[in-house]
A and B are shown apart, each in its own frame.
Chain A
């Protein structure tokens, strides 16, 4: 269980996190989503006690992180893959972490095996690829067999194999009743493995809901897409029945306020040939872009909505 309450963090005049409140519950994967610079990493660093909140509070397992008697056993943390001395081997890095809690070498070898690092465990971390660094970070997070995991961008730099592995790993960890908080700026990644999504932009909470609820908020959700040989008469007829119609390219109409059945019936009535008829569902990506549209800190000129 991770509780963030009215958290604000300022650096001088810059407000990185602004009154953020959310809870990550046991047995679920909570996705933490936001554009670059939204305050995800700052929030995570405050949660694990590296930085002090300007105001507000954060708790893990009901306690302030710094008050946890055995942090490694309570919370597994991976903040940045590059948190290892490049001259130290993966094994020694994990061993030093384990020794602070009196965890034995057997457990260190176990997490090395679990993260698929056996063949490189005695290599210096400076020679690691980004993906191997990520695995090493995750190995460190798993070391104490914690009930809560905080992973900052764990999918970054992983090959497709590794991405699948992470998805299964976090699903399995949550299925065992653990709390998993997983940040990403890639919404489709979270759509695949998160139960709940907390979306922030410019340090503020934009949404905190299940993936389904967020997808349902997408503009496209609930609309009907119909492609015909003759869109104009169909559009007129549909508007006459009270639906809203947005014509699109290639003879496609996007219809709101009418079901697939309604549109089919209307089409038959006005004698147009239907080539394609389907109910549209939004995607998390669209919902996310709509939510964060105003809150993106850095954007190339002229790309607004370009990803839709």
Chain B
């Protein structure tokens, strides 16, 4: 490290003074987009999530026969069960990376109003998760083409709820990423974010499902894991609602629950960011 800039500083200020411009929502958004795309691991994580979704769908598709009572949309979207963890980690890492790496100090001295940064992080997460989810859906469709041509049921848009389930895959994936970025911004710690997120979207539901009852089923209905109902078609939803002892959430109820979680967690994160110190 011997390269030392030569020449007087005044020379720089003579021709280099940038125009005095202030941060705007759009400028902060561009900056956050640069931050997202300039870290290679984010792209690998998105790619990995697509691969997991497609591989899971491919694997499950091999073992589905006509007698299993599954629909064609289930075959395509079945990768969600594992891929949602990828979406959670994607959002969680985007929400915590500034705090983990110390970048928060430069981020929030550059934009001391702070909340525009969180808003921009939510927006770039949304775009990244949406792109990843569409790619995962496309990849899962292609990966299950062989299975659907064979024993597995075909993807038939005439089956009630099929197109909603395909759209639901994208919506539920984005929702999980947004929950991740919100938890990340709130907890500022990746391990806590990912463990907490996995409990909320996956494990909590599974544990409570082992003890069916009015109370446990009611709690399950109001966990963010209800968002996974978005990927089910009408027949599967009817079966879920028939089996539960808690509230029946219908077609969009699960989406409403996960959306409420996203809003509440982001509000808590915004409160912590606006009212408390950044280390």
Contacts and interface: CB of A to CB of B under 8 A. Distances in A.
A73 to B, nearest CB: 5
Interface in A73-120: 73, 75, 77, 79-80, 82-89, 92-93, 95-104, 107, 110, 113-119
Contacts, number: 157
A99 B98 CA distance: 17
Interface size class of A (residues with CB under 8 A): 35 or more
B38 A88 contact: yes
A71 B109 contact: yes
30 contacts: A49-B108, A49-B112, A50-B278, A52-B276, A68-B112, A70-B22, A73-B18, A73-B21, A83-B102, A84-B101, A86-B101, A87-B40, A88-B35, A88-B39, A96-B31, A96-B34, A97-B106, A99-B27, A99-B30, A100-B27, A101-B21, A102-B21, A102-B27, A114-B9, A115-B5, A129-B1, A162-B4, A164-B4, A176-B9, A176-B13
A97 B31 contact: yes
Interface in A191-227: none
Q: How large is the interface on B (under 10, 10 to 19, 20 to 34, 35 or more residues)?
A: 35 or more
The 3 lowest CB-CB distance pairs between A and B, nearest first, are A92-B38, A172-B9, A99-B31
Given A114-B5, A172-B9, A48 B18 contact: no
B211 interface: no
Contacts of A45: 105, 277
B8 A70 contact: no
Interface string B1-14: 11111001110110
Given A79-B109, A88-B39, A99-B27, 18 more contacts: A50-B108, A51-B278, A65-B112, A66-B112, A66-B113, A71-B111, A79-B105, A80-B102, A83-B106, A89-B38, A96-B31, A102-B21, A115-B5, A116-B1, A116-B3, A132-B1, A176-B9, A176-B10
Interface string B28-52: 1011101100111100000000000
Contact of A77 (B1, B31, B109, B113): B109
B112 A48 contact: yes
B21 A103 contact: yes
B16 interface: yes
Contacts of A280: none
Nearest to B105: A83
B110 A101 contact: yes
B110 A71 contact: yes
B97 interface: yes
Contacts of A95: 34, 38
A173 interface: yes
Nearest to B32: A96
A223 B277 CA distance: 49
A84 B102 contact: yes
